[in-house]
Structure 1
């Protein structure tokens, strides 16, 4: 940045950090700018004076930018220092971790082998413990597990777990033998119960077969008796049906004769009733014709009376309306005369208003 564009020089790079670290370290540079501002006499009356003011203001702004850029560059450099420190710390940690792993590798391999050895012994001991589970086994299965347990050889091959293996094997055999005793007793009880159930079932089967035989014999006897009874009842039923058929035939002939007589009497009664109905209908028609004529005459009289009454009513209404209008017109006339209008003029005014010849003025009747 040229000197013509700023009012104060910036701190040199080698001393810039010390200047910015000290409180008010930039004060000499700011004071130089202040002195330049105070020494300047602004003149806005001429173009040159106005341009001089703008130039000084621009130099102040450029000085601000120059000083701020120095501080910004210092901050950027300082921010790189923690990154470099962190990178070296990471390199140190990674190196020492690798060296730690290198040093410990034999111990780690030994520990893995030791854990594997212990796990194998524990697994063999757990297999002995698992042989105690006989929840769903019969006695034969428990005997097989006892033979499996007895076949397990516990010796120095178990190393420091030999004592525990002996204890677990003994406990497993004790548990299996107790379970075998209990299961054998249970199976013996089940066998005895099964034998008793079979005896009961055989006895019930025999009793059932004997009962079926007796029931079959009784059923055959009842069927023979029922068949004989049915044959006797069939003979009696045929005799009764023959007798009933003869009686029905005799009754039917009697009924047919009675029905024929009733039909003849009914026909005679129907004929007489028809003649009577015809006469009654003729008389009723004649009477109805007379009534219709009389009703027509009466209706004609009512219509004539109503028409006459309507004419009279309309005439009376017209006369009443005429009298009503004359009364109202007379009252208007009297009002005009009372107001000082001559009677002839008042009559003419009332007439013109009544005939609606005067706009916006009307008489309410």
Structure 2
């Protein structure tokens, strides 16, 4: 086709399909272009004359018309080619879709099986990770747990077995979670024991202070008059001792109270006797002689006095050796 195009008429006669094939190379139109060139340039019109100038314009228009005609043929060929390309592309797309559909149909059973396996694997891992989170929560404390509760938590963790069969590839994570949980609980137990020890020490000190204060009641009343001593005694009688507060030392508190009341009674009697033996106008209370002793020794003396009072209340003064012991003590 390329060698057969020698004139403009041959170009204009081409169908779009043939034109697309003919114009694959620019050399296919060289002879046509040469023919137009020869025809257009074969004349040499006289530019000095009007007719000559008009002839030049006529030849130029003819060349333009030839160009337009050839370009139109080429454009038509391109339009047809683009239409063919579009159709081919549509066919290509159809082929891709159909073959992809067939491939998907072939893979569908395997894909469905794989999806089920993925769900099972995800559920397996999720279940293991959930158990690991439970281990971590066993080691979490709020700060208000009792020592018994903390010991129960520690025992539950101690009884927990971490094995490869149960945790598979997450066994290391489970062991680490248990280790941290055990440490947290043990730390909490230490703090709880320390706090309980401190609380007990403070409570014991408070109990001791309270009992000592009861025991010292009579000493506080030494410089007071009879009415004040009686009032102090009445206040002590009305004092209710909390058995829960004193705990194991409740009997000691009761004994201290009884001793203090007895001592106040004796003090009041002494003060009344002194007041009755002197003329009313000459009553001058002589200051009691005071000595200083360590508090522990004073408490010891009070305790021994309380024991003696208890023995006397139990009838020890009727014992045959009581009088002998009294003479030895004197």
Q: The TM-score by the shorter chain falls in which range? A: 0.3 to 0.5
Greater share of residues in helix: 1
Q: Which structure has the larger Rg?
A: 1
TM-score of the pair, normalised by structure 2: 0.46
- Greater RCO, CA 8 A, separation 6+: 2
TM-score of the pair, normalised by structure 1: 0.42
